[in-house]
Amino acid sequence: MEFAYSVCFLIFSQKTCTFRSKFWKISIYAISETIILAQSIQFFWYPNLPIKDWEKFSAFWNIINLPSTDVLAARLDLLKEYLIFEILLIGTLFFGVIVICLLKLFKKIVPRIVLYTCRIVSVFLCDLFFIPSSILLFVLCKYSNEKIEYISEYPNSIKGETLNFGEAGRVLAIILLILIVVFSFFYETCEYEIRHTSDEDFSDGKIHPKADILSKIVAFANCYMMTNLQLLDYETYLLAVSIMYSITTLAFIYYLPYYSRYLNFFKIFVNIDCLGIIVFFWFGYRVNNAGIIFLLGLIMQIALLFVAYQIILIRQSRIIHYSSSQYKSFEKFELSIRGLLKDGSLSTSLLSITNKNFKYSKSKLIPILQAYYCTDILENCTLGLNKIFNTSHKGLNIFTNYQIYKCKEIMISSCQIYSDTYKFFRYFIDFDDIKRQDRKFCEVYFRFFGNVIEKKLNLSQIKKQVNEIMTMVENLKEGYEKLKARFPDALEIKQIYGSLLLNLLSDLQQGQRLMNRYSFYAAKSSSKVPNKLSKFTIDRCFIVVSGNKHNIGQILFHNKNFINLFGFPQESIKELNIKHLIPKSYANSHFHYMKKFLKNATSHIVFNRAPLPLLDSDNFLHECLVSIECIGYENSVNFIIAIDSLGYKKREYVLINDNGYMEEHSKYFPTLIGANRKYVSNSFIQEYIPEINLNDFHDNEHKEISFLNKQTNNMTTVKTMNKILSVKKSRFRIFYLSNNIDKISSWNEDNFFAKDDIDDDEFDAPSTLTDKYSENNSTGPKKVKIMDNKSSGNQKSTDKSRQSSFSTSSLVMTIKEIKSFKKSILVLKLARYILLLLIIVLIAASIAIIIYISQEVSHSNSLIALNHLNNQAFYMAQLSLVLRCLHVENVANISLIYTLENAQDILIELKYYQDSLLKDYNSWSYCPSSNIVKQPIVPYWVLEKSPVLKYTNLHKILELIIENVFII
């Protein structure tokens, strides 16, 4: 269904037309409902209603029915044309949807004209003219393949054969009715807006489409009963229609679905008015008086308006207070908080109230309301995205699931513009994708050079692979440049991109510049932890943790600093879960807190710079400041975690309970207390320092303790401090020890979790952590510690030496080689295009020659016109001879062989060939000599007072000859 939702979102995501004027909005609503009311009234009567004086008042009801376009077409005797228009309208919407689906399927942009057309047609077909369209198609189905003299449903005594299209007409009507029902269902499901606005009295927003869909079902059923059952038993028909309108009236009264009180009033009035008119027609039918129907229909309109208004007031007065509706059905609860969703007077408290109803009602509409409320009122689109993305839009409840899908798309669009958290989350996705492309490019590049060295490739294969490599290079550079522009402080991008430019692409200038910037920032460190999670610093670790119930806690993305700090192998990150970083006694309950937060959150920030002890790969604790924010993505909510290590602060610490039972601890804690083993977890601290009594320690209290170090057998003096950390509802008791008395004495609330022993310069870029912990007899992976000033000089020299050797790689391509490859590819492409063009020209020339030869052959074979010209010349000569002989016979009184009958026969033949001149013209019009037939180029003399030379065509010459012969 997601594809169908995406298509509907394209069509119905924007209104076809909007008015800023409140007057025009109300006017449009009133006119639309009046049209629907007028169309509905035709359900209650028919042209030949057997009531006294019906003929006198039928004109009034016919005028009321004029908004019904099928009746108007019948009056204008355009019913068949209107049927064609309806078919075109439905066909336009159908093929428009097909076009949108195909373009969406092939990931093409849908033209706006297609979307606008579908929106406008759907409004007219599925809303304003749903009733006339359905009635006309039911009439078509009824009168097709039936010999009925007149159509009884329409006035003007239209003959039944007008809509009699046989069995094909009936099949067509059924198909079109199915399409109208489907389109109307999706229209009512997807067209409405559930989002609250500041001027709700003048908007068409509503909470759900149940009442409107019920109204559509009633209208469709009435269309069928009007055309098939109304004439059988009129009173029973009116009873059935009244029951259906009673149900729709109660639905609109109970739900009050629209946020606008005006629209609720219009909807209720239309249904109550229909009920009243049904009663008036039934009463007039019983008393056999059409005048009563007319009078009641006019007089009672004002009374029905007042009744509808009073019903709304009574219904609104029955709405309970939100404090009492939290454990009621969603419909009752939504009515009680409708005003609060608009004005935001309860701020984030309203989210807690709606969470309670969600637990009770399980309605998916609650997260939708919360998402829009967070975005519009709280101005926190990130929280809105989290609320809705934790809700699935899969299932059979299409009405709600489409609104969930729509809300997700709107929240994503808002977060792409306004949410720093969402933009930062996209950094991890895009960076992971570009690194994957980079690895693939390296594999292809290495394989290509190996094949070239081993001479396994021919020229065409080399060309193909070079073309592939150059395409991958362009895509990589484009991807890195976009990431660098969006996140200019991300040093990992500078390092990887600079290495690519130097080692493989031989772009020494830009690559060296990026590597220099990376080395410069890598030699520094920051003494402050930034307030924003999306801020890069030199040694900051980032991870993204899944909040999906199927893999909750799994680490989806991480940066290099995370591996360096915690020492987990790259291969094991895929299986790593957030619980592996949390002390074991708290890990089991952590998932419960994550799920609870996702359900009840009133902010997208879980906590900011909270001090937390985290475990590394060797199960040693690290002091960290942790910031967590959550963001919705791909039907789940994920957690972005920024970890700032406090580094080495010349103190050791242990996670301990009130009885002194030690759990996890820092790396050198066992050494400080004199233990001769690596781990002292799962033991009591009194075993090593008997002088400690934890009941005597208060929070943040410093104490100095001396004890016998069992490893050295000497007395050791340490400064201790008891610290209780509270993060949300979790409580950590951490016991600190240090043999640096002066350092621990300077600790206070302000600087206890500040970074020590590093520079104070702050800048925004992540670092690589270079100096490694030294660990004897350790089989685990080596870890990297936060570098200090002592190592910065060595780091710089190492970077410089590494950079100086960047250009010595055997796989480096120089800029000239790259340009040569590009020119070679360009020349080959041009050669291919030129060859293709030559082939096309040769084919076109061959076709032209063949056409010319065939035409000439056909011309040479077409001798009929030439034969007719030959015969025509022969008969003209023969006619001259015969006329001359007749003249001589008449003057000299000599009897010759030709008679007048011979001249008449020749004239008949000559007249035939004169007519053939025009008929044969097209067959030899290609010849320049054919101009003689129609152009005035034939000279002839006319004897007037003196001979006059004139010009005409051959056809006219023959006509003059024939006329003059008849005169003679």
Sorting pLDDT into bands at 50, 70 and 90, what band is 776?
very low
What average pLDDT does range 859-867 have in this prediction? Answer: 67
> What pLDDT, on a 0 to 100 scale, did the predictor assign at position 350?
92
Q: Bigger pLDDT: 410 or 948?
A: 410
* 164 lies in the same domain as 233: yes
What average pLDDT does range 46-65 have in this prediction? Answer: 86
CATH number of the structural domain spanning residue 698 = 3.30.450.20
* 374 lies in the same domain as 395: yes
Most confident of 460-464, 732-736, 795-799: 732-736
Sorting pLDDT into bands at 50, 70 and 90, what band is 793?
very low
Q: C-alpha distances in angstroms, 681 versus 319, 662, 667?
A: 60, 5, 11
- Cβ atoms of 63 and 155 closer than 8 Å: no
> In this structure, is residue 122 part of a structural domain?
yes
> In this structure, is residue 193 part of a structural domain?
yes
Whether the pLDDT of residue 336 is over 90: the answer is yes
* 379 lies in the same domain as 449: no
* 379 lies in the same domain as 517: no
> What pLDDT, on a 0 to 100 scale, did the predictor assign at position 788?
36
Phi, psi of 645 (to 5 degrees): -75, 140
> What pLDDT, on a 0 to 100 scale, did the predictor assign at position 213?
94
- Cβ atoms of 562 and 542 closer than 8 Å: yes
> What pLDDT, on a 0 to 100 scale, did the predictor assign at position 633?
83
* 158 lies in the same domain as 268: yes
> What pLDDT, on a 0 to 100 scale, did the predictor assign at position 93?
93
Domain limit, last residue, from 285, 302, 318:
318
User: Helix, strand or coil for residue 520?
Assistant: helix
* 292 lies in the same domain as 362: no
The amino acid that residue 719 corresponds to is K
Angle at CA 806, nearest 5°, toward 803 and 810? 165
> What pLDDT, on a 0 to 100 scale, did the predictor assign at position 755?
64
> What pLDDT, on a 0 to 100 scale, did the predictor assign at position 968?
65
> What pLDDT, on a 0 to 100 scale, did the predictor assign at position 658?
80
| Mean of per-residue pLDDT scores for the chain | 82
- Exposure string over 289-302, b if 16+ CB within 10 A, otherwise e: bbebbbebbeebee
What average pLDDT does range 941-956 have in this prediction? Answer: 76
Angle at CA 417, nearest 5°, toward 415 and 421? 50
> What pLDDT, on a 0 to 100 scale, did the predictor assign at position 371?
92
Whether the pLDDT of residue 528 is over 80: the answer is no
* 549 lies in the same domain as 484: no
Domain limit, last residue, from 285, 318, 351:
318
What average pLDDT does range 875-887 have in this prediction? Answer: 81
> In this structure, is residue 466 part of a structural domain?
yes
* 617 lies in the same domain as 663: no
Q: Bigger pLDDT: 803 or 418?
A: 418
pLDDT in tens, 339-368: 899 888 888 899 999 999 998 998 999 999
pLDDT in tens, 887-939: 777 777 776 677 777 777 888 888 888 788 777 777 777 777 777 877 888 88
C-alpha–C-alpha distance, residues 173 and 733, integer Å:
78
> In this structure, is residue 46 part of a structural domain?
yes
What does the DSSP 8-state code read for residue 786? P
* 501 lies in the same domain as 425: yes
> What pLDDT, on a 0 to 100 scale, did the predictor assign at position 804?
38
C-alpha–C-alpha distance, residues 213 and 221, integer Å:
12
Whether the pLDDT of residue 718 is over 60: the answer is yes
> In this structure, is residue 479 part of a structural domain?
yes
pLDDT in tens, 719-764: 888 888 877 677 888 888 888 766 666 666 666 776 654 333 333 3
% of the chain residues with pLDDT over 70: 88
Rg (CA), the chain: 46
pTM (2 d.p.): 0.72
Choose the weakest-confidence range: 115-119, 343-347, 594-598: 594-598
Q: Bigger pLDDT: 813 or 563?
A: 563
- Cβ atoms of 749 and 700 closer than 8 Å: yes
> In this structure, is residue 724 part of a structural domain?
yes
> In this structure, is residue 397 part of a structural domain?
yes
Domain limit, last residue, from 616, 645, 674:
645
Q: Per residue, what are the HEC states of 21-57? A: CHHHHHHHHHHHHHHHHHHHHHHHCCCCCCCCCHHHH
> What pLDDT, on a 0 to 100 scale, did the predictor assign at position 779?
37
Q: Bigger pLDDT: 531 or 438?
A: 438
Q: C-alpha distances in angstroms, 340 versus 318, 337, 372, 375, 544?
A: 17, 5, 13, 15, 35
Sorting pLDDT into bands at 50, 70 and 90, what band is 817?
low
* 301 lies in the same domain as 380: no
* 414 lies in the same domain as 430: no
Sorting pLDDT into bands at 50, 70 and 90, what band is 809?
very low
Most confident of 592-606, 665-679, 712-726, 752-766: 665-679
Angle between helical axes of 130-143 and 22-41 (0-180°, round to 10): 20
Q: Bigger pLDDT: 137 or 571?
A: 137
Whether the pLDDT of residue 571 is over 70: the answer is yes
> What pLDDT, on a 0 to 100 scale, did the predictor assign at position 589?
77
What average pLDDT does range 82-104 have in this prediction? Answer: 92
User: Helix, strand or coil for residue 644?
Assistant: strand
What average pLDDT does range 705-716 have in this prediction? Answer: 82
* 314 lies in the same domain as 430: no
> In this structure, is residue 590 part of a structural domain?
yes
Q: Bigger pLDDT: 317 or 716?
A: 317
Number of domains in the chain: 7
C-alpha–C-alpha distance, residues 965 and 904, integer Å:
9
Write out the two tokens for 846. 């061959």
- Exposure string over 517-546, b if 16+ CB within 10 A, otherwise e: bbbebbbbbbeebbeebbbbbbbbbbbbbb
How much helix, strand and coil, in percent to the nearest 5, is found in the chain? 60, 10, 30
What average pLDDT does range 375-396 have in this prediction? Answer: 88
Most confident of 141-150, 445-454, 664-673: 664-673
Most confident of 257-261, 710-714, 813-817: 257-261
For the chain, what's the residue count?
A: 968
Domain that holds residue 167: 39-318
Whether the pLDDT of residue 48 is over 90: the answer is no
Write out the two tokens for 300. 């009672």
